[in-house]
Amino acid sequence: MSDDDHHPELLLLHKTGGEIEGRGKYHKLLDRYRREPGESDVDSVLKQRGPFNEGLSRTVKRYIDMGIVETDEEGQSRDIAETEKGERYVSGFERTKAYLDESFQSTRSRVEEVASKYGDKSMNELVQEDDVQEDKQRSLGTPLSGGADSQDQE
């Protein structure tokens, strides 16, 4: 499975109601996905406010260019929302991937788990999670690899 092919970033946005309040929260939700049991190639690095996905800004920019997400200021806004076009795109994408790719169900289940457990939490609440606090004890810039066994690094 490749997370690049399954677009967990887009699925997270969709499954959290189509809007995420702040890019920081988006990073933390993507980190929660990385921590879920199962195979993942989503990587983060440790920054001052916890895990940070270095590719998320490029991904969001690509989604903006496609017209499937929007922000207030050309990619600089804190809030990210799915457009009507994006909602239609993700619905079709999910149906097609589920039909053609058996491994997609695992990605979708993990995204749904993260969205239901953490979607309503604020970024501050996500940063206060015990595993994030443990990570913050490491040196800034420490790579945090995908997969649930990543906490055993170092």
Query: Which of 78, 85, 65, 96 shows the shortest CA–CA distance to 14?
Result: 85
Instruction: Output phi, psi for 62, to 5 deg.
Output: -65, -40
The Cα 96–Cα 110 span in angstroms is 18
pTM of the model: 0.87
Q: What is the pLDDT of residues 76-119, one digit of tens each?
A: 557 899 999 999 999 999 999 999 999 899 999 999 999 999 99
**Sign of torsion over alpha carbons 86, 95, 60, 126:** positive
Q: What is the pLDDT of residues 52-79, one digit of tens each?
A: 888 898 999 999 999 999 987 655 557 8
Average pLDDT over residues 14-41: 91
Give the helix ranges, DSSP H, for the chain: 3-6, 8-15, 23-35, 56-66, 84-100, 104-118, 123-127, 130-135
Lowest mean pLDDT among 16-25, 75-84, 100-109, 133-142: 75-84
Say whether pLDDT at 26 is over 50: yes
Q: In the prediction, which pLDDT does 146 show?
A: 61
Q: In the prediction, which pLDDT does 154 show?
A: 38
Instruction: Output phi, psi for 9, to 5 deg.
Output: -60, -45
- Spatial CB neighbours of 44, under 8 Å, sequence gap ≥ 6: 27, 30, 31, 34, 51, 52, 53, 54, 143, 144
The residue written with tokens 């443990």 in the block is: 134
